[in-house]
Structure 1
């Protein structure tokens, strides 16, 4: 008998698929992250758990956990920096994720933020909604023309490449990227030898690296100091990749022209300093928020669960 636990409500098609595959499916109706006691209980009570962003399966959760009933954490999402994979593995628990399903949707949100920040779209909408728009005139709300500019992509994995392709093919932008290794790409792009070099060249800087200890506060005051004062900064990666205090400081003194953010260092908390600035576009972590995408993510996570609980290697096992 297989008993699985879904830590958040999921689309109906995903729930139906899970109920077809497993003997018992428990769905937690709350949308807040699990607490440490709930995570420890889940490891003891279920054969498999489908967690997601915010469910902090840290090393502490696995302390004194030997041979737990749970054999797999099938993460709903490509990023898994909220799970201590080494501690899970030591406890005999596999970890999987959902790569691929999120690529295009996340790249689309990056483009949304690029355009909203550069063209002052959020500020303009607020002006109209407040009834303060006085009509069109030639110097009204002048922003930055995106076409033909240079985009700097930090992290050239699947999502970084999808963003770069949209920028180059759709907007004729030159692409500069910073990555640990050279990439063979289907479009022209130049690899920068440092973050500073990338920042100096780019009109728009987009962060698309995975979260985790290696990238924590990877972006800080040095990068913002190297950017052009006319440049915009976009983050669709993980909030703690960016030193939020340094970003706020750069925006407040006009070191950079604007920012578009879908993720935050301590989400769902967003500093009032960011919320109060007109040149900052803020989205509520919408990267994959499309029904088709969330269904695809859920199906992939359920398939990972099924494989792990039937003695097979899950298709998206995290090594």
Structure 2
């Protein structure tokens, strides 16, 4: 593979992916350009591929500035940071990395559930502060046997359900349509499912269609004994409403791996003991990130060197 096909790297990539892209393509690190506008004025017409991630994405403006762009290859399962409509209108292919991160993301969903319901981080802080000698740590909430509602029973949602079943949880789910062949209870009405469950897990894509899907009204439906777990996108939850619900005791607690304006996390969330907060690390294992990197390169090389062969095409 010696073709010097020009591609644009939007942000720093996994080291293995970065090395592969820069070894086999004429790659430009867009994020290091001192004058991006000037560079685009001189070189935009040469770019045939964009390598990006769910963090950096690809805006309609950027896509419009690259007249010969053929493909956008993204590191991550979510693609809400990419203007899919703009790509589709131009016939530009978009790929992502589903499948390879499902298990690790599901692990974090269960970890958040266990940590917030059993108050484990709070208990550790209690011990480290030397409080155990003077007092017993307060009681927590049992996880086993609870009713779990999953919003979005895709690949990740199914892995969450599989793990929850091992805790003898009753699993409900809400999708736009019922999924054949799964043993879980389907709710066409999201509000009804929220009212029926003890723990609500969000596993839906981000984007305009799910923005603030969980708002103040739906948090109230979850109730004062209910827990919210979000491993989807921060935009799915009205973060201001969530903070108010937690402060008022409208819900019992939350476990969050994603935030509405990350990496900025509101101090009000940080100050609450009833919340477990993680820095968007659900797929963050050596094994999974390498598998994601390999899949991005498989799509990139497949398209340009193997007659447009794509493993995981979005559009």
Check whether the contact 1:67–1:92 (CA below 8 A) recurs between aligned residues: no
Q: For the structure 1 residues 62 and 50, does the alpha-carbon distance in structure 2 shift closer, same or farther, using more than 3 Å as the test?
A: closer
Cα RMSD after superposing both structures = 2.5
Cα-to-partner distance string for 1:189-241 (whole Å, 9 max, x where unaligned):
11123222111111111000011111111111121111131111100000001
Matching of residue 57 in structure 1 with residue 52 in structure 2:
no
Per mean C-alpha deviation after superposition, the further-off stretch among 281-290 and 224-233 is 224-233
2:87 aligns to what SS in structure 1? helix
Query: Which ranges of structure 2 fall in alignment gaps of 5 or more residues?
Result: none
Aligned match of 2:174: 178
- Which of 189, 199, 206 is the aligned partner of 2:201? 206
Task: Return the TM-score normalized by structure 2.
Answer: 0.89
Aligned match of 2:81: 82
Aligned match of 1:278: 273
Q: Tell me how far 1:37 sits from its aligned partner.
A: 5.0
Check whether the contact 1:67–1:91 (CA below 8 A) recurs between aligned residues: no
Aligned match of 1:268: 263
Q: Tell me how far 1:306 sits from its aligned partner.
A: 1.2
Structure 1 Cα separation of the partners of residues 157 and 120 of structure 2:
23
Aligned match of 2:133: 134
Q: Tell me how far 1:267 sits from its aligned partner.
A: 0.5
Q: Tell me how far 1:29 sits from its aligned partner.
A: 7.8
The number of residue pairs the alignment matches comes to 309
Q: For the structure 1 residues 287 and 240, does the alpha-carbon distance in structure 2 shift closer, same or farther, using more than 3 Å as the test?
A: same
Aligned match of 1:252: 247
Task: Return the TM-score normalized by structure 1.
Answer: 0.88
Q: Tell me how far 1:57 sits from its aligned partner.
A: 2.0
Cα-to-partner distance string for 1:274-314 (whole Å, 9 max, x where unaligned):
11100000000011000110111111111111122233142
2:132 aligns to what SS in structure 1? coil
Query: Which ranges of structure 1 fall in alignment gaps of 5 or more residues?
Result: none
Cα-to-partner distance string for 1:226-276 (whole Å, 9 max, x where unaligned):
113111110000000111111111111101110000000011111111111
What does 1:1-319 correspond to in 2, within 5 Å?
1-19=4-22, 22-26=24-28, 44=45, 46-63=47-64, 65=65, 67-68=67-68, 70-134=69-133, 137=136, 140-168=137-165, 170-186=166-182, 188-310=183-305, 311-319=307-315
Check whether the contact 1:3–1:47 (CA below 8 A) recurs between aligned residues: yes
Check whether the contact 2:11–2:52 (CA below 8 A) recurs between aligned residues: yes
